[in-house]
């Protein structure tokens, strides 16, 4: 599905909107087809430098909405109701709304949008900022197949996309990818700290750990083997790797991750309930 002729508007021009816009421009999308509404003069100036249209919603809250086929809501969930109230009255069923606000359900968004039903929720993660993100998507029944293809193409501009059939599965997406970059950063941090304790300079320990993380991920992506199979192939009997793996297993690393990810899901569910009130 091409985005070539689609008119896309972003409500909010912060980090995630900026990442998506950079990804779209990298895919040769015409910047004249992209509009951003943000009250910050500095944000508008920064995005205007990329040749996209920028408007001040405090001057004309409808300016970014009129004529747009896709509207991306990229503001914090706590201010969403106030922001969308300014233009909800001009939305049409032909306009698909994509929300990247964590925790806000489609029902909550629909209520804020005067009953608008053509909504897609997106759960991206921070590597989207370098076009290497992973995004989970959920669409209401009101979203057409062609609109779903458009939304998928838009989010693919910053990385991998997958669809879930049940909106509640976005809590699992949050645990597996949305919050997960922080898990990997934490593992990198621990490896670098330990490398330094073992006698390496922090610079060298960082270079080795980060390159190994990158190479391991790329190998897992491109290999026909599963991560489990790859691990077994590099774990020689009675070798150094086996000693390290057995230590991790004795500390029950798998259960630690299970508990951590379940805590993430529980908090995601709680946030959704809090925002629905």
Whole-model pTM: value is 0.91
Cα–chain-centroid distance for residue 68?
Answer: 22
Cα separation, 115 vs 218, in Å, equals: 44
Which candidate, 131, 78, 119, 85, places its Cα nearest to that of 102?
78
**What is the CB neighbour count within 10 angstroms for residue 203?**
10
Contact 37, 142 (CB under 8 A): no
pLDDT of residue 277: 57
pLDDT of residue 5: 84
Structural domains in the chain, sorted by start = 8-170 (3.40.50.720), 180-268 (1.10.3730.10)
Alpha-carbon torsion (128, 125, 225, 213), positive or negative? positive
pLDDT of residue 276: 82
Helix (H) or strand (E) holding 258: helix 253-276
Helix (H) or strand (E) holding 160: strand 159-163
Per-residue pLDDT of the chain (277 residues; tens, 9 = 90+): 578 789 999 999 999 999 999 999 998 899 999 999 999 999 999 999 999 999 999 999 999 998 999 999 999 999 999 999 999 999 998 999 999 998 999 999 999 999 999 999 999 999 999 999 999 999 999 999 999 999 999 999 999 999 999 999 999 999 999 999 999 999 999 999 999 999 999 999 999 999 999 999 999 999 999 999 999 999 999 999 999 999 999 999 999 999 999 999 999 999 999 988 5
Alpha-carbon distance values, 164 to 11, 60, 109, 138 (Å): 24, 36, 18, 6
Could you list the beta-strand ranges (E) of 217-272.
none
Q: Which residues pair with 159 in a beta bridge?
A: 133
Q: What is the DSSP letter of 51?
A: T
Cα separation, 154 vs 4, in Å, equals: 11
């Amino acid at each position: 599905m091409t985005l070539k002729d689609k008119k896309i508007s972003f409500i909010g021009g912060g980090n995630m909107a900026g990442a998506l816009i950079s990804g779209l421009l990298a895919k040769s999308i015409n910047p004249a087809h992209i509009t951003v509404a943000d009250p910050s003069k500095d944000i508008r100036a920064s995005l205007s430098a990329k040749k996209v249209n920028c408007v001040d919603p405090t001057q004309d809250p409808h300016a970014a909405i009129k004529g747009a086929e896709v509207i991306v809501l990229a503001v914090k969930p706590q201010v969403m109701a106030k922001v969308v109230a300014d233009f909800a009255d001009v939305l049409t069923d032909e306009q698909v709304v994509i929300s990247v606000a964590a925790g806000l359900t489609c029902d909550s968004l629909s209520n804020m949008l005067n009953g608008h039903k053509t909504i897609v929720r997106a759960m991206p993660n921070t590597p989207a900022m370098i076009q290497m993100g992973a995004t989970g998507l959920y669409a209401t029944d009101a979203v057409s197949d062609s609109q779903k293809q458009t939304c998928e193409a838009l989010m693919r501009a910053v990385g991998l996309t997958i669809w879930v059939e049940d909106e509640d599965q976005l809590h699992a997406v949050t645990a597996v990818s949305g919050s997960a970059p922080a898990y990997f950063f934490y593992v990198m941090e621990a490896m670098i700290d330990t490398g330094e304790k073992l006698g390496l300079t922090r610079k060298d320990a960082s270079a080795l750990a980060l390159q190994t993380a990158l190479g391991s991920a790329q190998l897992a992506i491109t290999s026909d083997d599963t991560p489990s199979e790859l691990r077994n192939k590099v774990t020689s009997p009675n070798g150094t790797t086996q000693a390290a793996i057995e230590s991790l297993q004795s500390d029950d690393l798998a259960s630690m991750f299970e508990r951590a990810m379940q805590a993430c899901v529980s908090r995601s569910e709680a946030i959704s309930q809090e925002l629905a009130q």
